[in-house]
A and B are shown apart, each in its own frame.
Chain A
Amino acid sequence: MNAANLCLLAAGVYFLTGMLTGVWKYRCMAADPEARTPVYVDIAHRTALMYSFAAVLLHEFVPYSPLSPQGTLWAVGLPLLFFGSAIFIYIVHGILRDTDNQLRKPHRLGSTTLPGGLIITYMWLLIAGEIGGFLVLFAGFLRAAFAV
C-alpha cells in the first residue's frame, strides 16, 4: 500500500459512507412528522462527505512529500485514521441518539458516560495527527514549488 492509494481508498470509503448516511438521513426525515433528523445522523452524513474531499486533497500533496514512502504513508495515514474515527463516532451517536453534543459534559455514550480525560486526550491526538500530517506534506510542496 502506498500513500497515494491509501488516500484514494479512504476517499472512496468516506464518500460511500457519506452517501449511505445520506440515505439514512433521508429515511429519518421521511419517517418524522416534522421531517427532522437526529443531530448526529446529519453530522455523520456531512462530515463523511467533507472528509472524502479532504482525502482527495491529501492525495494531491503526496507527490511533494519530503519523507520516505514509509514516512509519507504515516503522514497521510494518521489524518485519514482520525477522519475515519470521527465519522465512526458520529455514526455511533446517530444510532444511539444519546446526545446532540458529544463535547458537552458529562460525555454521554449510550446510557453510560465517558471519563473527561479520554475525550480530551482523543481531541489532542486528533489535532496533532491531522495538523501534523498535513503540515509535513504542505511544507514539502512549498519547498518543491517555491524553493524555500
Chain B
Amino acid sequence: MAGEVLLLAPAVTVHIVRGILRDTGHNQMRKPHRLGSTTLPGGLIITYMWLPIAGEIGGILVLFAGFVRAAFA
C-alpha cells in the first residue's frame, strides 16, 4: 500500500511540473526526454517506468489476493 502511494505521488508531481514548464510538447515519453530546457537520460525514464509497474501491480496483487482468499475460500 505504502509502496503504491510512494510511486503514485511522484507521477502526479511530474505531471504538475510538466504543466508548469510546458516543456514536452504534450508527450513526456518522446525521445529525447525533455525537462525544462535540459534533457534527461533515457535510462532514468525507463527505470522510473518499470519501478511503478512493479510497485503498483505488486502492491495491488497482494491486497487483491487477500480479498479473493477471504471472500471465496
Q: Which label, helix, strand, loop or mixed, suits the secondary structure of the B interface? A: helix
Chain B residues, CB < 8 A from A30: 29, 46, 49
Q: Count A-B contacts at CB 8 Å.
A: 40
Shortest Cβ distance from residue B61 to the other chain A in the assembled complex, whole angstroms: 7
Per the bound structure, the CA–CA distance linking A62 and B14 in Å amounts to 37
A35 and B31 in contact, given A9-B71, A12-B64, A30-B46 (Cβ under 8 angstroms): yes
What's the tally of chain B residues with a CB closer than 8 Å to chain A?
A: 16
Per the bound structure, the CA–CA distance linking A19 and B49 in Å amounts to 12
Q: Is A61 at the interface (CB under 8 A from chain B)?
A: no
Q: Is A35 touching B57 in the complex (CB atoms < 8 A)?
A: no
Neighbour of B64 across the interface among A16, A22, A36, CB < 8 A? A16
A residues with a Cβ closer than 8 A to B are: 5, 8-9, 12, 15-16, 19-20, 22-23, 26, 29-30, 33-36
